[in-house]
Amino acid sequence: MKLSQWVMLGFFIILSGGIFWRLKSNQKDEVEKTKNKVSEIFVPIRKVKNSIQSVSLTSYGQVASNLELTVSFEVQGKLEKGAVFLKPGSSFRKGQVLYQVNNEEAFYTLSARKSSLSNLVLNAMPDIELDFPSEKNKWIGFMNEINPAKLLPELPLINSSKEKMFISSRNILVEYYNLKSLESRMDKYIWLAPFNGTVISTFAEPGSIVSPGFQVAKIIKTGSFEVKVPIATNDVDQFKLKGKANFLNSEGKKIATGKILRISNVINQQTQANDVYYSIVPDKDKKVYSGMFVNVSIDQYSDKTTMILPRAAVKNNKVYLLKNSKIIRQEVLIAGSKQDSVFVTGLDNNQLVVLEQVEAEEGISYKGIYR
């Protein structure tokens, strides 16, 4: 290679290196600027100013079935479907077979044991005829009634201690009561619906092997509901005195009535209120479903120190506060409501409450716009 070519190659390498270094330097500067730049989001806020309001006594709650059961078996075996193919949401009627466990092996074992009992009585008959001739016929009748495919007959009445000692010595009593225990266990291979209800979840399918205590499904009773309502401690007596309450849907329309079933004597740590349990009976042509949220109201007013907020600012009894350019969540208690607003307690004066639902994000600076 000629000298001039070497010179041109060196010049090209130096020039390319300089361009590459400059580009990397600019890229690093842009990254640093991006890291140092913090995005800002503006949210509508209102400064908390609590005041005394005359509000109707209201609260909220979630409808739940007053009876929920777990379907499980006390025996082991292959799970088989019952009269209804059960999936979440399936309905069933009281007395229907929901599930059953294959009991073929247990049935044959029980039948064999019944035949053994019959043989025990048969082997004892010569001595019974000799020592207790007047009792012979009842034991013959008992032996003839033992059928491997049917339930055991009633044990004959034993009239003397001598007869009892003899029957016991032949192991007839022990075997009889062991068989009665096995017969009782056969009932545990079938799970009958104890009420009209609905399946809320399933954990096993027909064909799988279940063990004692294994959860197969969860069911709830339909048509019988209750509502757990958090009520401020100061208001419990007024709710208790009234006894009955009206239940409203999310649109503020009355859908049901109910009365107090029980009142918890323990403060709920999340709501800082007493949990009061109401029955709930739907009005004519209205429907109530397990899991739906309802507002609870009684026809009474009370003077309370509250803050009025738009309904959109409160969700699941929580509001968002703006503090040091950050969004934090705060628990509140709804003390009352009107058409588009709610009266809440649990906020301190001069706090900045966000008037809409937002989700806090890392690296975001929030600024408030007063409304």
Beta bridge partners of 365: 40
Task: Quick: pLDDT tens for 63-96.
Answer: 998 888 999 999 999 999 888 888 898 999 999 9
Model pLDDT, residue 149: 84
- Residues contacting 154, CB < 8 A, separation 6+: none
pTM, full prediction: 0.60
Average pLDDT over residues 245-254: 86
Residue 29, CA atoms < 13 Å, CB-side half-sphere: 6
Model pLDDT, residue 36: 46
Average pLDDT over residues 219-231: 89
Q: How confident is the model at residue 16 (pLDDT cuts 50, 70, 90)?
A: low
Q: How confident is the model at residue 11 (pLDDT cuts 50, 70, 90)?
A: low
- Higher per-residue pLDDT: 14 or 31: 14
Tokens encoding 358: 């937002």
- Percent over 90 (pLDDT), the chain: 41
Q: Do residues 102 and 78 lie in contact, with contact meaning Cβ atoms separated by under 8 Å? A: yes
Average pLDDT over residues 324-353: 85
Closest by CA to 310, choosing from 345, 337, 292, is 337
Please say if the pLDDT value at position 248 is more than 80: yes
| Among 14-23, 98-107, 146-155, the least confident range | 14-23
Please say if the pLDDT value at position 17 is more than 90: no
Residues 27 and 34: their CA atoms lie apart, in Å, by: 11
Please say if the pLDDT value at position 35 is more than 50: no
Q: How confident is the model at residue 56 (pLDDT cuts 50, 70, 90)?
A: confident
Task: Quick: pLDDT tens for 157-181.
Answer: 988 999 999 999 999 999 999 999 9
Please say if the pLDDT value at position 54 is more than 80: no
Q: Which domains does the chain have, with CATH numbers?
A: 46-65+224-370 (2.40.30.170), 68-101+189-221 (2.40.50.100), 105-187 (no CATH)
Alpha helices, H only, the chain:
3-36, 104-131, 136-145, 161-169, 172-186, 236-242
Closest by CA to 48, choosing from 244, 291, 317, 322, is 322
- Residues contacting 178, CB < 8 A, separation 6+: 113
Model pLDDT, residue 343: 86
Model pLDDT, residue 279: 92
Residues 180 and 196: their CA atoms lie apart, in Å, by: 31
Q: Do residues 327 and 358 lie in contact, with contact meaning Cβ atoms separated by under 8 Å? A: yes
| Among 29-38, 200-209, 336-345, the least confident range | 29-38
Model pLDDT, residue 34: 47
